[in-house]
Each structure stands twice: as structure tokens, then as C-alpha cells.
């Protein structure tokens, strides 16, 4: 009798064991959503001290996860930061990785191990939605044809991208190698040198603009906003700035909804917000009291909230690691004038930190970094571990149990223990920082920071007692300056730089 019962229930027991095994695998290898926002400063979020704008969804991540206080973009501008994040390699090691034009060629050689390719090899379904800004194609891309190589050749199964930035042409979305909504009878042409077409520019016709712009952003007019670079054609494919956040958010949620049970996924979500031109959807305008800059912070927080809501609705929150950070420090920009510029500074971008986007001071590269994984990362905690975006590849590879191919992530450090909030985890020991150039650079060793000046001299700060970088100790700590200068030179020599 017992044997007969066991025979009957054996298929059920097998099914239960398989489900439990799948659940254990999901618990050990979570889904990963990495949200890399644009130009959000260390002080722009409520949980980091912002007292003007409201960020309830980001604050929820901090409340339900871990808030890092010494996390850094390896560069204080976008392209080199994104290069380092993707490859685990300092961008200053590779010439030509400064802020990329909208028609730049692909900056990461095909075959380079990336966050996406390593996780894909581990069985993850991979996708990118949002800002790319790492170039496309082997030659300047023809946006009227299949565009490759690009994200899909670097490990992403799905891509829906802004080729460069919101203030650069072409102002179109590219989905899996093709411009979205392009009419073949209205081909796109892009130029960053010689003027093309007969359309007026922003400098020539300021009366056609919905927001004013200076000469640096005074070329092609798209959606009433003048840009960097010239563009003709593609009228039906051009984005509407006010709708970019909605479009990217919907695409991100749709990617999550398409995933198959039992297969983990990796989503790299790169919002345009809060990069210029800051043009919030009308439903967010006036909500912050800090002008359109504060309003797009609210818009960004809404986007994050939609992603979290999707995870809750689909029952995926427990099995998903969500990371939020920014590609560099914040800034009060005056490139565009939306009519509310006098209100932007009511929300100080970087709190007490010195400097802004583009600087080697902490305001240029110390960024918010939040991590939530219910049940695995302690809720409501804070970590002072030193970490950087270029640590993402080795960290997530370790999480997925995947070996990095030879030569991959030469500068990344596996800081998984710190990410998980393990007791005593300290993160990395040293870190090299850049602005938009290969030199000068800055070096962190513990709490000490050496900044090279363009003239060859140096500044030295002890961030443990001087987070504002007000007291230059270089003249007093001459031996430390000498030692750290030699360390930085040795680090540069590894790449022949």
C-alpha cells in the first residue's frame, strides 16, 4: 500500500523539488535592475539630505535596502563613467573615451567582456533601456539602416536606446539596431562638423525655441529645442522631450513583464533625467518649487516607482536586486534657460560637497548609491565602503557565479560583500578618478585623496575629517604626496598612460 502511494505521489514530489530548486537558484542568482541616472547629485535625493525636492520612491529603496555614502562614478562626466561601468576598465586607459558625439563609433571593441555579456553567459536575459552614449558602428553610423555593432553586440539581448544625449543629435530612439518609426522616404543625416540642410538653427531663430539656449547648444532645432550637432530628416522618428521619461519607463516595465519564469534577467535602465535639456512632462511641472530641474527629479523618482511597482505586481521584488546610482555629480547648468533657472539652485545638487559635474572634487564624482534585495541586503542600513561603478562587472559576476573571461574587468574589484552589507566589508582600498580627460587625475587611498592640478602640482585632502575639501594638506604632508603621486604614476603606467 505504501509503495503504491509513493508511486502515485512521486511525480508530485519531483515537481515540488524542482520548484524548490528553481526558487533556491533565484534566491542565489537574483534578477538585477541597474538604474544609472544622469547628472543626479549626491544631495539631490531625500535620503541623502535633499529638503526641497521629494523622492519617496528612491527613499523607499534606502529604507528597504542599503545606502552607500562613499560610492563614486569613476569620471565626473557621462561617457567615461559608462565605459568604466560596462567594462570594469578605467576609461582614461583608452584614448578617445571623452564625451562622445551623437555620431561617434562604438567605443568598446566587440569581444570585450561587459556586464551584459558576462551575465548573459550566466544564463541571464539581458536588456538596456535608455541612454547609451558609447558610440555605434565601426564607422560613423548611417541611421537609415541596421546600426551595428552596438549594445546587441556587447551582450544585450534587447536594446532601446538614446544614441547619445538629449541635447545632441540624432534625436531618435534606436531599438535593436533600427531607428524607431523612421520613414524611408525621409532619411536621416547627422553632422557634427559642416552644416547640413537648410533648416534654421537655434542661434539664427531663437523665436522658434520653447526654451532658450546658448551658442554651444544652438544648432539643429528639434521639438523647439536647439541641440549640439546638425540633423535633417527623420521627422516622424524624432522624440518629444516631454515624453522621453514615459517612453523609457514603459519600455523598461515591458521588458520586465516579458521575462520567463525560471530565467533571471538583467536590465540596465539609463534614464535621460536629469540631463539637460530638462523638459519635464506637464504633469510634473511646478511640483517641486525648484524649477524644471527639481521637477525632473520628481519625474525620475516616478520612473523608479513604476519599476518598483512592476516588481511588486509581478511578485518579483524578493528575487530582484535593484541598484540606483548616477553617472556623475550634479550641477546647476545655465546652458538652457527654461524660464525657471533662478529656482534651480534651491535644491543644492551635491549637499556639502565641493565642486560639481566635471570636477575632480567630491561634488563631481561622489554619487548616491542605493541597493535593495529583500531578505539578502539588510534594510535601512548605511555603508561607508569605498566602491565605484567599474566594480559592477566583477561584483555581479560573483553574484551570478560566473567567471570573467581572461582580460576582463582589469580595474574592477569584487565588492559584493560590501553590497550585501556583510559585517566588516570595506570595499576597495584605492580608486583613480577622472573628469573628461586622461589627465589630470585624482587618487583615493583609504580616506586620503590626491588631486593633480593641470600645472603638475597637487592638492591633498583627508576626507575622514574634511569631506568638504576645504583644507589642502599637500604642503604639510609632503611624504604622503610623494608616495601617492608615485602610486598614481604606477597605475597609469599599467596602460602606458
Active-site choice (24, 47, 72, 78):
78
Q: Other C-beta atoms within 10 Å of 11: how many? A: 9
3-state secondary structure of 394: helix
**DSSP 8-state assignment for residue 386:** B
Q: Give CA–CA dist 72/454, Å, rounded.
A: 22
C-alpha of 259 from chain center: 22
Residues 159, 178 contacting (CB under 8 angstroms)? no
| Alpha carbon of residue 105 to chain centroid | 20
Q: Which residue has the cell 533600427?
A: 178
3-state secondary structure labels for all residues of 49-101: CCCCCCCHHHHHHHHHCEEECCEECCECCHHHHHHHHHHCCCHHHCCCCCCCC
For helices 78-87 and 392-400, angle between their N-to-C axes, nearest 10 degrees: 30
> Phi/psi at 349 (nearest 5 deg)?
-60, -40
Residues 80, 434 contacting (CB under 8 angstroms): yes
Of the listed 133, 217, 281, 344, which one is catalytic?
A: 133
Q: Is 78 known to be catalytic? A: yes
- Phi/psi of residue 440, nearest 5 degrees: -75, 170
Q: Which residues have a catalytic role annotated?
A: 78, 133
Amino acid at each position: 500500500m505504501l509503495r503504491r502511494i509513493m508511486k502515485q505521489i512521486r511525480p508530485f514530489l519531483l515537481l515540488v523539488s524542482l520548484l524548490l530548486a528553481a526558487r533556491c537558484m533565484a534566491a542565489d542568482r537574483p534578477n538585477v535592475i541597474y538604474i544609472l541616472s544622469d547628472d543626479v547629485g549626491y544631495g539631490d535625493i531625500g535620503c541623502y539630505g535633499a529638503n526641497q525636492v521629494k523622492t519617496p520612491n528612491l527613499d523607499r529603496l534606502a529604507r528597504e535596502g542599503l545606502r552607500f555614502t562613499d560610492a563614486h562614478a569613476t569620471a565626473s562626466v557621462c561617457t567615461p563613467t559608462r565605459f568604466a561601468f560596462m567594462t570594469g576598465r578605467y576609461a582614461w586607459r583608452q584614448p578617445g573615451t571623452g564625451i562622445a558625439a551623437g555620431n561617434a563609433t562604438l567605443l568598446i571593441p566587440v569581444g570585450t567582456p561587459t556586464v551584459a555579456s558576462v551575465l548573459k553567459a550566466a544564463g541571464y536575459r539581458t536588456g538596456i533601456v535608455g541612454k547609451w552614449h558609447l558610440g555605434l558602428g565601426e564607422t560613423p553610423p548611417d541611421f537609415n539602416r541596421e546600426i551595428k555593432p552596438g549594445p546587441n553586440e556587447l551582450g544585450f539581448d534587447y536594446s532601446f536606446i538614446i544614441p547619445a544625449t538629449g541635447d545632441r543629435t540624432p534625436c531618435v530612439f534606436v531599438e535593436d539596431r533600427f531607428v524607431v518609426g523612421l520613414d524611408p522616404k525621409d532619411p536621416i543625416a547627422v553632422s557634427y562638423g559642416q552644416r547640413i540642410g537648410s533648416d534654421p538653427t537655434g542661434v539664427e531663430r531663437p523665436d522658434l525655441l520653447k526654451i532658450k539656449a546658448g551658442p554651444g547648444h544652438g544648432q539643429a532645432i528639434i521639438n523647439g529645442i536647439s541641440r549640439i550637432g546638425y540633423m535633417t530628416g527623420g521627422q516622424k522618428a524624432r522624440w518629444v522631450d516631454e515624453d522621453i521619461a514615459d517612453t523609457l519607463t514603459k519600455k523598461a516595465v515591458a521588458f520586465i513583464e516579458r521575462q520567463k519564469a525560471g530565467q533571471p534577467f538583467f536590465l540596465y535602465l539609463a534614464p535621460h533625467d536629469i540631463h539637460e535639456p530638462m523638459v519635464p512632462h506637464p504633469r510634473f511641472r511646478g511640483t517641486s518649487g525648484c524649477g524644471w530641474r527639481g521637477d525632473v527629479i520628481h519625474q525620475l523618482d516616478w520612473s523608479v516607482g513604476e519599476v518598483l511597482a512592476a516588481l511588486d505586481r509581478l511578485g518579483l521584488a524578493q528575487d530582484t536586486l535593484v541598484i540606483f546610482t548616477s553617472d556623475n555629480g550634479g550641477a546647476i547648468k545655465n546652458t538652457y534657460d527654461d524660464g525657471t533657472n533662478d529656482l534651480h539652485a534651491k535644491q543644492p545638487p551635491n549637499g556639502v560637497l565641493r565642486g560639481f559635474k566635471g570636477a575632480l572634487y567630491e561634488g563631481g564624482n561622489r554619487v548616491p548609491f542605493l541597493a535593495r534585495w529583500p531578505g539578502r541586503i539588510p534594510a535601512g542600513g548605511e555603508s561607508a565602503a569605498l566602491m565605484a561603478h567599474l566594480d559592477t562587472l566583477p561584483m555581479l559576476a560573483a553574484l551570478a557565479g560566473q567567471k570573467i573571461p581572461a582580460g576582463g574587468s582589469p580595474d574592477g574589484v569584487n565588492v559584493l560583500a560590501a553590497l550585501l552589507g556583510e559585517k566588516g566589508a570595506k570595499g576597495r582600498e584605492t580608486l583613480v578618478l577622472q573628469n573628461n580627460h586622461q589627465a589630470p587625475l585624482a587618487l583615493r587611498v583609504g580616506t586620503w585623496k590626491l588631486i593633480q592640478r593641470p600645472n603638475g602640482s597637487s592638492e591633498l585632502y583627508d576626507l575622514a575629517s574634511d569631506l568638504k575639501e576645504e583644507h589642502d594638506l599637500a604642503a604639510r604632508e609632503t611624504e604622503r604626496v610623494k608616495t601617492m603621486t608615485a602610486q598614481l604614476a604606477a597605475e597609469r603606467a599599467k596602460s602606458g598612460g
